[in-house]
Homo-oligomer: A and B are copies of this chain.
Amino acid sequence: MAGRKAVVLLSGGLDSATTLALAHDRGFELYAMSFRYGQTHEVELDCARAQAHSFGVREHIVLEVDLGKIGGSRLVRDSRRPAVTDSPIPATYVPARNTLFLSFALGWAEVLEADTIFIGVNAVDYSGYPDCRPEFIKAFENMARLATRAGSEGRAGVSVAAPLIDMSKGEIVKLALSLKVDPGRTHSCYFPDTDGRPCGACESCALRRRGFEEAGLRDPAQMPRRPRRLETS
């Protein structure tokens, strides 16, 4: 295992932090990649940096990705865009986002000669997102083998590891804590306020809350970070 490198997609959320911790636990030399795109609040990247630091990441890069020009999601740029209601796919789905992020990771993996890309996708709670399913990950891996030097030279291509793909949110919370992830330094909310505090109401906040409840644990990130006037007076 010594010397094996992995590129880890790190959003700053609980799932990707747990994935990073798992890759660390498996002995990989870690390279983390984050993205600043339409929806990204700086607090997410602060969390990503904190997690990268905690797990001794060798290099952490943040790429700017201009998804706003493409549009198509409630999460990118125009959050007032009405939700698409005639589809089982959530309005927060960002077209081709995981494909794009994995493609950037693939390029970096090739340059670093990393043999694995880790991504924290989950097919249980994100079953409506086409690019969170195991068959998508497999198809990406196959494409990646053909896209790169390694594959075209008959060597093994890059593997895509999605270790959380079949877990419930409660299982992920327990795994995170067993791997010493600090959940107070992760961010899950789709619509944080200007100070980066979670709204507590979006589907991502709700999912996270259910995960902590299922695990029987308290979520430090959901606590108000400043005392509220009414509570302290």
Q: List chain A positions with a Cβ less than 8 A from chain B.
A: 61, 63-67, 69-72, 87-89, 93-100, 103-104, 106-108, 110-111, 130-131, 133, 135-136, 139-140, 142-149, 151-153
B contact residues around A65 at 8 Å (CB)? 65-66
Q: Are B98 and A100 neighbours in the complex by a CB distance under 8 Å?
A: no
Q: List 29 A-B contacts (CB under 8 A).
A: A61-B70, A63-B69, A64-B66, A67-B107, A70-B104, A70-B108, A72-B110, A88-B153, A89-B152, A95-B106, A95-B107, A95-B148, A95-B149, A96-B106, A96-B107, A96-B110, A96-B147, A99-B103, A99-B144, A100-B103, A100-B104, A100-B107, A136-B143, A136-B147, A139-B139, A139-B145, A140-B143, A140-B147, A143-B143
For A70, the chain B residues whose CB sits under 8 A away are: 61, 104, 107-108, 111
Complex: A227 Cα to B149 Cα, angstroms: 43
Could you tell me the distance in whole angstroms from the C-beta of A70 to the nearest C-beta in chain B?
5
Q: Select A148's contact among B96, B104, B106, B143, beta carbons within 8 Å.
A: B96
Are B143 and A93 within 8 A (Cβ)? no
Bound complex: CA of A94 vs CA of B107, how far in Å? 8
A75 to chain B, nearest CB (A): 13
Q: A148: which B residues are within 8 A, CB to CB? A: 95-96, 130-131
Expressed in whole angstroms, the Cα–Cα distance for A147 and B103 within the complex equals 13
Beyond A67-B107, A130-B152, A131-B148, 19 extra complex contacts between A and B, CB < 8 Å: A61-B69, A63-B66, A64-B66, A72-B107, A72-B110, A89-B149, A89-B152, A89-B153, A95-B107, A95-B108, A95-B110, A95-B148, A96-B106, A96-B110, A100-B103, A100-B104, A130-B148, A133-B146, A139-B146
